[in-house]
Chains A and B, each alone.
Chain A
């Protein structure tokens, strides 16, 4: 399994850089991944999303869909795209230390 050094800590990641062991995640590591994804600073609004995603993951074993984030009242989809430009569901999951959202086939 590939390893990577983030915020001075060695962590296990998959081929696309998603943490494979949530136990290794820290807020500093989150900030480091965010930096790599082009997000200079994690604001309280970012953290609200990340924490909601982690709760959902703990409850259901899956990162929530954009629709779920929107419906839960945590954040509007528009705002989500502003906070995590590009692919918000995937980016936020990566920063939150969760595995890549599965997506259906």
Chain B
């Protein structure tokens, strides 16, 4: 018997298990998936909790429910990967040997990386990247009379890089609907030079912020936070005062990666950007947020990576050359408030551009433009996530590789 082991049963680990169980002979290959808990959250739902649009119970299901038959699900904290011994060591003392390993341990927020951030934690400083954080923020926002809400990205890369923008747009929308907008300032603070990394989308989204009277502070890198005085202090000496700080703290890979000695400075696993094989070990592959790829850390990206990953694990097992199949494709809906959303579709080479998706002219979804249909599509993504994405099924009309058809480069 040979062993395939998957670390992490989130989006990537679950899709990988579903695709590979079908293709590996059960009499020859065992498949083991390890995660520390049995609660699979639909993470895009975290954005909606602070505004009361969704409740925690509506976005969580047991992980085991989405793993196929013939997979052993081990509930345990992974202590480390012992790549020299081809084994995963668990906190409880058990050792799980592997012939092939898939790393899918995602990324986590690290508030302790910014001095002072934990001093005001869940008092005046909040995150919405965890279920607890999103719920605490919901309670706080409900009781607010007025003041300055600062939406802050501490350091890049972060998962779902558009989520903080969506948060700012929702804030504006919600306050407006409650007739309280004039009592609040909303400030968007980012280490990037603008609203987004790439110029065309950055200009469009930046304009959107302006329209909604959300001030943007670009190129800001926080050195520390004075939680008692409620100010964010930059390395360049700039100070930003807040009443409520909604921050996306530094995102880093699992501590397990660091204990294994396999990570870069963010604890991300150095991974070949096209084949998804570890750069250091021929029998280790990686998917999703745990990798050091420059593609977005998003569920849609995991979906587009999955086919290449599964195919290449099989190729490696059979001794065939790997296929450089992944092109960096990402496809993200950006909620802009008032029942509308943007859609952006891009890859390693092509920045988000205006146009129509998935078909030229007829669309029906407009790219880089707010529309109701995009908003409904984002809401539908929750159903797609549980029923198509996790089981590793195709999403109709959305190919794994990005297509240029329908996109227009502005003059």
CA distance A65 to B294 in the complex (A): 13
- Report yes or no: B236 in contact with A85, Cβ–Cβ below 8 A: yes
Interface size of B as a range: 20 to 34
Q: A67-B266, A78-B223 are in contact. Are A103 and B156 (CB under 8 A)?
A: yes
Interface size on A, residues (CB 8 A): 17
- Report yes or no: A102 in contact with B294, Cβ–Cβ below 8 A: yes
Q: 1/0 per residue B295-321: CB within 8 Å of A? A: 111000000000000000000000000
Most chain A CB within 10 A, of B161, B236, B295, B330, is at B236
B159 CB, nearest partner CB in chain A, Å = 10
Contacts of B294 on A, CB cut-off 8 Å?
102-105
| SS of B interface (majority) | loop
Q: A77-B223, A81-B236, A86-B219 are in contact. Are A104 and B297 (CB under 8 A)?
A: yes
Contacts of A77 on B, CB cut-off 8 Å?
221, 223, 235
A71 within 8 A of B: yes
Q: 1/0 per residue B349-372: CB within 8 Å of A? A: 001000000000000000000000
Contacts of B235 on A, CB cut-off 8 Å?
77-78, 80-81
- Report yes or no: B156 in contact with A104, Cβ–Cβ below 8 A: yes
Contacts of B148 on A, CB cut-off 8 Å?
none
CA distance A81 to B220 in the complex (A): 12
B197 within 8 A of A: yes
Q: Of the candidates A65, A78, A81, A102, which one forms a contact with B265 in the assembled complex, judged by CB atoms under 8 Å apart?
A: A65
A49 within 8 A of B: no
B103-153 residues at the A interface, CB under 8 angstroms: none
B44 within 8 A of A: no
Q: A66-B221, A81-B236, A86-B219 are in contact. Are A105 and B296 (CB under 8 A)?
A: yes
Give chain A's interface residues, CB within 8 Å of chain B. Answer: 64-68, 71, 77-78, 80-81, 85-87, 102-105
Instruction: Supply 6 A–B pairs (Cβ within 8 Å), ascending by A.
Output: A77-B235, A87-B219, A104-B297, A105-B161, A105-B196, A105-B198
